[in-house]
Amino acid sequence: VALASLDDYFPDWKEREALAEAMIPIIGKLYRRNVVAYCYGQPLHNQSVLEIMQTHRFVRQVAHNELSEFESFPILKAMSELDLGPSHIDVGKLASDYMDRNGDDPNLSAFEFTQHACEEVIGRHVKPLTTPQDIVLYGFGRIGRLLARLLIEKTGGGDQLRLRAVVVRKSSEEDLEKRAELLRRDSVHGPF
């Protein structure tokens, strides 16, 4: 059995890398409109090119399908062209469904499929809160830092929940700096 040479894999890697690079601004634009994109439950916002590629690799290993950036990019691009309301959409599952249905109807475009799959949130711009809700977090221990991370990660367009302040007990300035550093890099929960 002959092994495939590096020359066979490298062009494919570079193409997938370019698609992942092109996904980042689209994902960011959707996120600011409160449309959160996932790939089989893994959030795609605030991810690097390699992290997006690793997410696709994870899906190939766990879900045992051949989902790659080639399949998910057209779905993501179609989502960016639609007037989607606030929602959480799994691009990976949509791309897998599209691959399955495309065998039945090869004339079905990714845009048409995505438009049909997302029809209940197209044009629906109902916000759960009429005005943004400011959050003041009391305490900045391990649980407080976890809550702060979650609130910051889930801010989206900033028109729902917003972390405005953190109240801490009176202590030294070094202690406050240490806690802020722990927010960025926690030994248990990793970097932020």
Write the pLDDT tens digit of every residue in 124-183. 877 767 788 888 988 888 888 888 888 887 776 667 788 888 888 888 888 888 888 887
pTM as predicted: 0.73
Q: How far is CA 164 from CA 41, 131, 140, in A?
A: 28, 14, 14
Digit-coded pLDDT (tens) for 73-132: 999 999 999 999 989 999 999 999 998 887 677 788 999 999 999 999 999 877 767 788
33-48 tens-digit pLDDT: 889 999 998 999 989 9
191: β partners: 185
Q: Strand (E) positions, 15-98?
A: 35-39, 42-43, 87-90
For the CA atoms of 139, 141, 142, 145, the dihedral, rounded to the nearest 10 degrees, stands at 50
